[in-house]
Chains A and B, each alone.
Chain A
């Protein structure tokens, strides 16, 4: 799971509708897998993310290189860094905890399991 995906995930336990995003990352294992750099793709995709959630989540997995505020102009260094953080950094193992109801979702072998028990849906 990459941070792009995590940026879209929220808790979906029945009745948990507020403050359920972003899921807090802990006990993570990271793997870097290099992939082709595509600046045009990145320039467009960055605007689709919740930036403040992203910098928080990145911090939770030890990445402190993202600026607090999304710059208006993206230079090459910024895009290369974003490429590394968003597309090459894979969370292989870890826990995602809802900040509201404390439900824990697990990431195993790079796959988040978001299934709930019947009583939770």
Chain B
């Protein structure tokens, strides 16, 4: 599959791009997206299961909440920009709130862990990706861990991308369904992604000056980093 380049010729603001190509898409595809997102990724599950009992954390960009009940011995608050996805979390009795990852409504340094799975790649500029990462390190306690996953440019399994273009739109297809009156015909939605090169996420994290990298690797079409917030730096 080749990727179609977007935005080079479009004179719309970053905010509007994210609204049209991310927020509105997730609002529209929430039920179908949720049906396809039920299985936790093993490494994320392992990260959550190794946390100390009684830990308090947040899943920023939690989608349908599939990580919120992985470990019953920790308390995880889910947050997402999409109210439709949070409605799904609430219907599953998960603790969750609607908010924007660029402007989190949490106190400084109040969490023992943070996960951000497949979220940061939806921000359209380096500045906004950095701001989102800064927010994660603002709310986590010094010495505590943050796990971040983002889509990789180099992915080679289900999808292949032209290595020249990091900013792409990727269609989400909701097939027609006989049992669903809202899905009489197939519908295609366009989602924006920034595809991360090897080391790019690591650099964004290190450049905040707030964290050290504990682990960095490739997993399931994504680059991921486990980073620890430094103790001396507020």
Question: A93 to B230, alpha carbons, bound, how many Å?
Answer: 38
**Other-chain residue from A5, A40, A110 in contact with B54 (beta carbon distance below 8 A):** A40
Residue of A nearest to B54 (CB): A44
Tell me if A84 counts as interface (CB < 8 A to partner B).
no
CB-nearest residue of chain A relative to B78?
A: A5
Q: Decide if A12 touches B98 in the complex (CB within 8 Å).
A: no
Does B155 sit at the interface, judged by CB under 8 A?
no
> Could you tell me which residues of chain A, from 64 to 121, have a CB within 8 Å of some CB in chain B?
105, 109-116, 118, 121
Contact A116–B53 (Cβ < 8 Å):
no
- A-B pairs with beta carbons under 8 A, tally: 89
Contact with B111, one of A8, A11, A40 (Cβ below 8 angstroms): A8
Q: Are A45 and B103 in contact (CB under 8 A)?
A: no
Q: Assess A116 versus B103: contact at CB under 8 Å? Given A8-B77, A41-B73, A111-B90.
A: yes
Instruction: Please report the C-alpha to C-alpha distance between residue A1 and residue B15 in the assembled complex, in whole angstroms.
Output: 29
Chain A CB within 8 A of B112 CB = yes
Contact of B95 among A5, A21, A38, A47 (CB under 8 A): A5
Of A4, A9, A50, A121, chain B has the most CB atoms within 10 Å of the CB of A9
* Residue of B15, B73, B93, B95 with highest tally of chain A CB at under 10 A: B95
Chain B residues positioned under 8 Å from A33 (CB to CB): 93
Docked complex Cα distance between A110 and B52 (Å): 27
Q: Which of B164-203 contact A (CB under 8 A)?
A: none
Give A118 to B16 CA distance when docked, in angstroms.
11
The answer to whether A12 touches B104 (Cβ under 8 A) is yes
- Given the complex, which residues of A lie within 8 Å of B112, measured CB to CB? 48
A1-32 interface code vs B (CB 8 A; 1 in, 0 out) = 11011001111100000000100000000000
Say yes or no: A111 contacts B103, CB within 8 Å: no
A45 contact from B54, B104, B106, B107, Cβ within 8 A: B54
Cα distance A12–B103 in the bound complex, in angstroms: 7
B47 within 8 Å of A (CB atoms): no
* Bound CA–CA A47/B102 (angstroms): 28
A45 and B98 contacting across the interface, CB-CB below 8 Å: no
Query: A-facing mask of B79-107, CB < 8 A → 1, else 0?
Result: 10101001100100101111110111111
Q: Does B110 have its Cβ within 8 Å of any Cβ on chain A?
A: yes
Q: Are B54 and A10 in contact, CB atoms less than 8 angstroms apart?
A: no
A25 to B205, CA, bound (A): 36
**Residue B70 CB within 8 A of the other chain:** no
* Most chain B CB within a 10 A radius of its CB, from A33, A38, A41: A41
Contact assessment for B95 and A114 in the assembled complex, using a CB-CB cutoff below 8 Å: no
- CB-CB under 8 A from B90, the residues of chain A are 109-111
Beta-carbon nearest neighbor of B111 in chain A: A8
Beyond A105-B105, A114-B98, A116-B103: 9 further Cβ-contacts under 8 Å? Answer: A1-B95, A11-B105, A38-B72, A41-B75, A42-B54, A45-B55, A48-B56, A110-B90, A111-B97
Chain B residues with a Cβ under 8 A of chain A: 15, 52-56, 58, 72-75, 77, 79, 81, 83, 86-87, 90, 93, 95-100, 102-107, 110-112
Name A residues whose Cβ lies closer than 8 Å to a Cβ of B: 1-2, 4-5, 8-12, 21, 33, 36, 38, 40-45, 47-48, 50, 105, 109-116, 118, 121
The 7 closest A-B pairs by CB, nearest first: A44-B54, A114-B99, A114-B105, A45-B54, A112-B97, A12-B105, A113-B98
